[in-house]
Amino acid sequence: MKRRIISAAIAVLMISSLFACNNTNPAEEKTTLASSSTVQATTAAVNSTTSTTAKIETTTAAVVQTVTETSTTVKSTTTTQAETTSKPTTTAATTTLPTYDENKPEGYYKTIQNAFREDLKYGVFRRRNVINHIETLIDGTEIIVKQDITEYYNRLFYYADFDDLLPAAIENKDTYSDEISLVLDIINGYRKEQNIAPLTLSNELTEIACARAEEIAWSGEHSHRRPNGTMFSTLLKSAGISDGIVGENIGWGYETAESVCIAWRNSESHYDNIMNPEFVKIGIGVAADPDPDGKLCWTQIFMNE
């Protein structure tokens, strides 16, 4: 099979061949081709001019190799899986912090701090700190005169496999069906401009792409390596796809299909992925970051057959 190198965009991988080297740094990875030559993979991140918080990233090498599924191995990581089906739970702690005002009697003002933890899913939890500044009136009534609220999302213990991600992926495929259709129309418009055959939207790849978007959104790992350290293609293996050439584009922080597609088009590497005539079908994924400031995560998974 011929070697193809696609600069800074296409993560074209023979899926089965990646399972024997899941922990290989993509900047150092070398794959033996039929001619015994090597292709070096690197990664690139591109900041969009349309949004200060928006970023896109794609792998930057194409590797073609013929292997058999029986010759591959999958290296697992030891981790504790979080319960993903239980309802969110909350815990709280309260601390009273005395404050003083030189013009008021001691105890006239006080500050009460409440710390809340809410377990969400995939091992991610939200920590919320609420500080109430309380004034005591002459009749003894206490009123809150000021309230400070801070919250953050702890993703340190994130864990999810494909089966964990699939229910949300199926739901997101329906929730964001309009956005998915619009992305498909836009990128096929790009291909039409260059007389390249349109991509066909694959239901199976779209579920996988939505699972990838969900994984990126909840783990915070904006990379073509998954949170467990393996390449994105291992998710296809988990979904039952064991042969083929695949590529991936990802983006996050974009609110609309138009904005993320413009960013991909303005990046040579991502545009090359979109315009690759060897790819004939695509899966498109969308997922919301649990942090309201995180907006949406977008994925494209391309395949040659």
Q: Which two tokens stand for residue 230?
A: 């393996």
Residue 111's DSSP bridge partners are: 97, 133
The upper half-sphere exposure of residue 151, i.e. CA atoms within 13 Å in the direction of its Cβ, equals 14
Confidence class for position 108, pLDDT limits 50, 70, 90: low
From the CB of residue 28, how many other CB atoms can be counted at a distance below 10 Å? 9
- Whether residue 43 is predicted with pLDDT greater than 60 in this model: the reply is no
Above pLDDT 90, what percent of the chain? 47
pLDDT at 49 over 50: no
Q: Identity (one letter) of the amino acid at 299? A: T
> What is the reported pLDDT for 132?
86
pLDDT value at residue 71: 26
More confident residue, 27 or 229: 229
Question: Residue 60 — pLDDT band, cuts 50, 70, 90?
Answer: very low
Structure tokens at 92: 């709280």
Span 102-120, average pLDDT: 74
CATH 3.40.33.10 domain residues, the chain = 11-78+159-303
pLDDT for 48 equals 32
Tens-place pLDDT, residues 243-255: 899 999 999 999 9
Q: If you average pLDDT over every residue of the chain, what do you get? A: 72
Whether the predicted model's global pTM rises above the 0.75 cut: no
Instruction: Residue 120: name the closest of 166, 167, 153 by CA.
Output: 153
> Quick check: 221 pLDDT over 50?
yes
pLDDT score at 38: 28
Name every residue whose Cβ is closer than 8 Å to that of residue 218 and which is 6 or more positions away in sequence: 121, 122, 124, 155, 158, 160, 287, 289, 290
174 SS3 class: helix
Return the closest-CA partner of residue 286 out of 233, 217, 200. 217
| pLDDT value at residue 266 | 95
Percent of the chain clearing pLDDT 70 (strictly above): 65
The band of 287, judged by pLDDT with boundaries at 50, 70 and 90, is very high
pLDDT at 243: 86
pLDDT bin (cut points 50, 70, 90) of residue 141 is confident
CATH superfamily, domain at 11-78+159-303 = CAP (3.40.33.10)
**Which of residues 273 and 100 earns the better pLDDT score?**
273
Instruction: Encode pLDDT of 263-285 as tens digits.
Output: 999 999 999 999 999 999 999 99
Helices (H), 69-176: 162-175
Whether the pLDDT of residue 206 is over 70: the answer is yes
User: Mean of the pLDDT values across residues 76-91?
Assistant: 32
**Mean pLDDT (whole number) for 158-171:** 96
Gap between the Cα atoms of 206 and 171, Å rounded: 12
